[in-house]
Structure 1
Amino acid sequence: MQKKISMLLISCMLVFCLISVHTSAEANTSTIQRLDQLVKKIVNEKMANAEVSIAIRDDFGKVIYDFNGNRQQKPASNMKLLTSAAALTELGENYRFRTNIYTTGDVKNGILHGDLYIQGTGDPTLTVEDLDQFASFFSDQGIKKIDGRIVGDDFWFDLDLLTPDIKKDDESYYYAAPITALTLSPDSDYDSGTVIVEALGKTIGEKPRLTITPELGELVIENHAKTVAANQYSTLKIEREYRKNKVVVSGNLPINKSWKEWITVPNPTMHTLLLFKHALEKHNIQYSLDKFYHGKTPTNATLIVQKQSIPLSQLMVPYMKLSNNGIADILVKTMGKVRMDQGSTKAGLRVLKQYATSRQLNIDDWFFVDGSGMSNNNSVSSIDLTQLLFIVKGEKQWYGTFFNSLPVAANSDRMIGGSLRNRLKTPFTEGRVFAKTGAIDGVNTLSGYLIGSSGMPYTFSILVQNQKGTVPTIDEIVEAMAKEL
């Protein structure tokens, strides 16, 4: 299935590129005037109170249309377009995260006499199954007991767990997960630093049944919810208390209905270490010290075993298709560490600016405080975003990977259509729009590439803020673009 998906994505990219090599027929004046009338009509009727910035470039990079194109607006997850471009350049398609286990001791008679260090470098693909494999490896080596400390080493990154401007009400949920260099993901979506809490209504009047994936770790759950009749509304809520390890399940859940949330853990490093200890216990490996230890791996420690992640080229698909904020934050810190030996958001953002400057982007027109787009203080214009997207087409080494990571309009496969799988389903747009979505409170954005009805490729960006529920209107504008061009 993975090979089939990859081939389909490559085919889409090849079609787009083959179209691009033909001489672009510049859209004539009457076409642009007609499009301008349509866009203004849609904006005036449906987004009159919103702030809107729209830009379109042709295959030569010329701006052929803009509506407030230079207005600085919030990009939301369109910020990931710059983060991705910088990461593919600075880290490379083949970059892999590594999780290492070191020891400062020796094994005698089945006992490891010395400390064990589990050292992370930010791998968002690390799972509890990997921890189980580590424990299985020790068991196969005849280790039955660790007579020393088990130490979590997350010093590849700094100790600032959250990016700037994360709201209090968001901290409980996966899109605002804390970031450390030693973190676990509950599934192959790679929402690191979270557990999946699923509630199922089984018996009316009783509490819903809860399933936790992978395990609670340091979290504790209070279940105050109730299963109600099938004809009642669901009011179920699953939320972690602010800055605490308590998860509260409340409200009503109709019988035979289920609900799940990806809930953040307060400290991903501690969570990983606790689940690693559980893995050791499952393999009957004892440890003498139960306390959580946090420290740097000594330079004289011996590497025992290492887990490598999938390459960045493969990670790009779940990251961009599903708009994974955690991976964006991890990539920013990783660029800071690799290029500046500072695993911080600030250092990583300096690397983003260096990439942008090296590609002659108007970086003075950009303002950003994170790489995911979560902050309301990020700003950029649609003209600047289309400039980035046009320049990216010239990145011969990795443009195919970048293009294949973009959601494809109306493709129902989650790892192809991504956040556009249920959008832009008309004949003019289905399978012809390849773009990154974005959404934060009162903001919706869409930037990428489209194939017009003429068969010619275009680069576009639509940024809307200060109005909720604008996705259908944005799609209407994109359809007008695709139809008229």
Structure 2
Amino acid sequence: MFSRRSFLSAAAAALAAPAALANAPKTSLRPQARAAVGLRSGAGSAQSNAASSLKALLARSGLSGQIGCAVAEVANGKELEAHAGAEALPPASVAKALTALYALDTLGANYRFTTRVLAAGTVTGGVLKGDLILAGGGDPLLNTDHLAQLAAALKKAGIREVRGAFKVWDGALPRVRTIDAGQPDQVGYSPAVAGIALNFNRVHFEWKRAGNSWTVNMDARTEKYRPEVSMARMKIANRSLPVYTYADRNGADQWTVASQALGKGGARWLPVRRPAAYAADVFRTMARAHGIKLKAAKQISSLPTATLLAQHHSPPLDLMLKAMLKYSNNLMAEMIGMTATSKRGKRPKGLKDSAAEMSRWARTKYGASSIRMVDHSGLGEASRVAPNAMLKVLVAAYKTGSLKPLLKSFPMRDGNGRVIKSHPIKVAAKTGTLNFVSGLGGFLTTSSGTVLAFAIFAADTKARARISRAERERPQGARSWNKKAKRLQQQLIERWGQSYGT
């Protein structure tokens, strides 16, 4: 049995490494002291003054680029205030809220992903006279511990020898080399996507100083296991830049790292570009630990008729979505989103194709026409969502009760960063952060109990376009820009919470 508490604890441990966190919020909302705007007190000139004060607030933010925002009361869907509400901007990871709704509507809250070990042949006296197949089922939470459990279950099923081939199938989903090709090779939040994944398709790279050189290690570690892998290899190169290079060569992920960047030692998670080979590599190690020797894996494109030997089920979808939104994990969003599209009877060719189907779904279900996604995570900068379109989705989702319980609660804080436990405004929302892109969408509850839905998007696409691919991990100016965006979001939350709190 997998309880909610144990799952979220495990997900927290698995996702806590910096490379696993894609656009996770760094700070909670902090209130800014200001007088109540009092938008309800009058009409006509009062509304004009309110619009003027909103424009002034946005201008004072100092943000370059474009800003759009909108807020509505969920009880009746009435839009209360907006600026450039019809302007479609990059949503960043706020898009994951849309993906969560798409998956729930298509798959259902109790849907589980299944990874199987199959026998294509006969078993006599513990000997499989045929092929053993590791078959992925699109589970984005599969990790090394689970493969170890499958290997143990294989032994328990009486298998002690496999005379045929060892095969791996990842065809449950289309193969995608990287979520966003514009990202640097080494960032862990843009790995490959396929029908099988392991450890969020990240491999652990560790180096230690050894005399005048370093020892390096590539493994698929969890807290319990640290199996080394052969499908990802690292070579130290005598240079200062670039820090990393990558090549898919000789059936393996071939990395080099600059010696002058290593220092005394350290570690980081690197993305995996060959997920099937990665999972098969680790499963061979785990099977060998139980006395079952497997040949080098062969990747297959279709499943033959076979007998089930062992299987692993993921937690139910609603728990997975809660973790996906909390930790803003890109791989989870893409695998869950493409699984939903496949279940709708429209096998996607890739992320863009699947995201287009999700956009069509949003138009049909919510009447939200200004949603054009290129992926399910929001990592691709070509995605566009208008604030008022997101508002339609949020208002409808609140009425069904499907989204708000999955969103992260943000405590309000004072100017020194301390949580204000008794603050009257309560916020549950999804953040989104890319370089020179920031978004926030969700719900706020005022002191009177009124619930508002809101969407805030800001983007300087020109500044983003000037960043080279190599600089995208830490581009100059992006951090200060995003801080301004977060500050503005906080001021807008305070404005709406005070203005519509009576």
TM-score interval (norm. to shorter): 0.7 to 0.9
Equivalent residue number for residue 461 of structure 1: 455
Equivalent residue number for residue 64 of structure 2: 49
Alpha-carbon distance in structure 2 between the residues aligned to 1:472 and 1:343: 39
Equivalent residue number for residue 231 of structure 2: 218
Equivalent residue number for residue 366 of structure 2: 360
Match of 2:182 among 167, 170, 184: 167
Alpha-carbon distance in structure 2 between the residues aligned to 1:51 and 1:64: 21
Q: CA deviation at 1:475?
A: 2.3
Given residue 156 of structure 2, which amino acid in structure 1 is its aligned partner? Answer: D
Alpha-carbon distance in structure 2 between the residues aligned to 1:384 and 1:3: 34
SS at match of 2:332: helix
Alpha-carbon distance in structure 2 between the residues aligned to 1:225 and 1:317: 44
Q: CA deviation at 1:142?
A: 3.5
Match of 2:202 among 194, 207, 216: 194
Match of 1:115 among 109, 131, 153: 131
SS at match of 1:57: strand
Using the TM superposition, name which of 312-321 and 236-245 deviates more: 236-245
Using the TM superposition, name which of 108-117 and 213-222 deviates more: 213-222
Equivalence map 1:53-92=2 (5 Å): 53-59=68-74, 60-92=76-108
> 1:162, 1:178 within 8 Å by CA — same for their partners in 2?
yes
Equivalent residue number for residue 12 of structure 1: none
Normalising by structure 1, report the TM-score: 0.79
Equivalent residue number for residue 15 of structure 1: none
Compared CA separation, residues 331 and 238, structure 1 to 2 (3 A):
farther
Match of 2:286 among 239, 259, 279: 279
Alpha-carbon distance in structure 1 between the residues aligned to 2:405 and 2:168: 36
Equivalent residue number for residue 468 of structure 2: none
Using the TM superposition, name which of 38-47 and 148-157 deviates more: 38-47
> 2:359, 2:373 within 8 Å by CA — same for their partners in 1?
no
Alpha-carbon distance in structure 2 between the residues aligned to 1:379 and 1:85: 17
> 2:368, 2:393 within 8 Å by CA — same for their partners in 1?
no
SS at match of 2:400: coil
Q: CA deviation at 1:51?
A: 0.5
Q: Deviations over 1:263-308 (max 9, x none)?
A: 1112101111111111111112123x3353424221x311122211
Equivalent residue number for residue 160 of structure 2: 144
Alpha-carbon distance in structure 1 between the residues aligned to 2:487 and 2:291: 56
Given residue 160 of structure 1, which amino acid in structure 2 is its aligned partner? Answer: V
Using the TM superposition, name which of 469-478 and 118-127 deviates more: 469-478
Alpha-carbon distance in structure 1 between the residues aligned to 2:439 and 2:152: 46
> 1:156, 1:343 within 8 Å by CA — same for their partners in 2?
no
Q: Deviations over 1:297-340 (max 9, x none)?
A: 21x31112221110101101210011111111112210122111
Given residue 177 of structure 1, which amino acid in structure 2 is its aligned partner? Answer: P
Given residue 308 of structure 2, which amino acid in structure 1 is its aligned partner? Answer: L
Compared CA separation, residues 2 and 281, structure 1 to 2 (3 A):
same
1:450 paired with 2:444, answer yes
1:478 paired with 2:478, answer no
Alpha-carbon distance in structure 2 between the residues aligned to 1:434 and 1:104: 49
Q: Deviations over 1:359-408 (max 9, x none)?
A: 23232x22121111111111111111111100111225xx1xx2222121
Pairs aligned (count) = 432
Given residue 186 of structure 2, which amino acid in structure 1 is its aligned partner? Answer: S
Alpha-carbon distance in structure 2 between the residues aligned to 1:158 and 1:211: 26
Alpha-carbon distance in structure 1 between the residues aligned to 2:125 and 2:431: 57
Match of 1:339 among 340, 344, 363: 344
Using the TM superposition, name which of 26-35 and 316-325 deviates more: 26-35
Compared CA separation, residues 26 and 340, structure 1 to 2 (3 A):
farther
> 2:85, 2:388 within 8 Å by CA — same for their partners in 1?
yes
Alpha-carbon distance in structure 2 between the residues aligned to 1:264 and 1:247: 11
Alpha-carbon distance in structure 2 between the residues aligned to 1:38 and 1:307: 56
Equivalence map 1:200-239=2 (5 Å): 207=214, 212-214=219-221, 215-223=228-236, 239=244
Unaligned runs of 5+ in 2: 9-37, 222-227, 464-480
SS at match of 1:241: strand
Alpha-carbon distance in structure 1 between the residues aligned to 2:247 and 2:395: 42
Given residue 195 of structure 1, which amino acid in structure 2 is its aligned partner? Answer: V
Given residue 263 of structure 1, which amino acid in structure 2 is its aligned partner? Answer: L
1:267 paired with 2:274, answer yes
Given residue 438 of structure 1, which amino acid in structure 2 is its aligned partner? Answer: G
Alpha-carbon distance in structure 1 between the residues aligned to 2:125 and 2:357: 49
1:294 paired with 2:300, answer yes
Given residue 268 of structure 2, which amino acid in structure 1 is its aligned partner? Answer: E
Compared CA separation, residues 151 and 203, structure 1 to 2 (3 A):
closer
Alpha-carbon distance in structure 1 between the residues aligned to 2:447 and 2:408: 20
Q: CA deviation at 1:28?
A: 3.8
Q: CA deviation at 1:436?
A: 0.7
1:348 paired with 2:354, answer yes
Using the TM superposition, name which of 86-95 and 302-311 deviates more: 302-311
Alpha-carbon distance in structure 1 between the residues aligned to 2:247 and 2:296: 27
Equivalent residue number for residue 379 of structure 1: 384
> 2:192, 2:271 within 8 Å by CA — same for their partners in 1?
yes
Using the TM superposition, name which of 206-215 and 83-92 deviates more: 206-215
Alpha-carbon distance in structure 2 between the residues aligned to 1:211 and 1:302: 34
> 1:428, 1:453 within 8 Å by CA — same for their partners in 2?
no
Q: CA deviation at 1:178?
A: 0.8
> 2:204, 2:268 within 8 Å by CA — same for their partners in 1?
yes
- CA-based RMSD: 3.4
Unaligned runs of 5+ in 1: 7-24, 186-191, 227-234, 413-421
Normalising by structure 2, report the TM-score: 0.76
1:409 paired with 2:410, answer yes
Alpha-carbon distance in structure 1 between the residues aligned to 2:218 and 2:170: 29
Equivalence map 1:313-332=2 (5 Å): 313-332=318-337
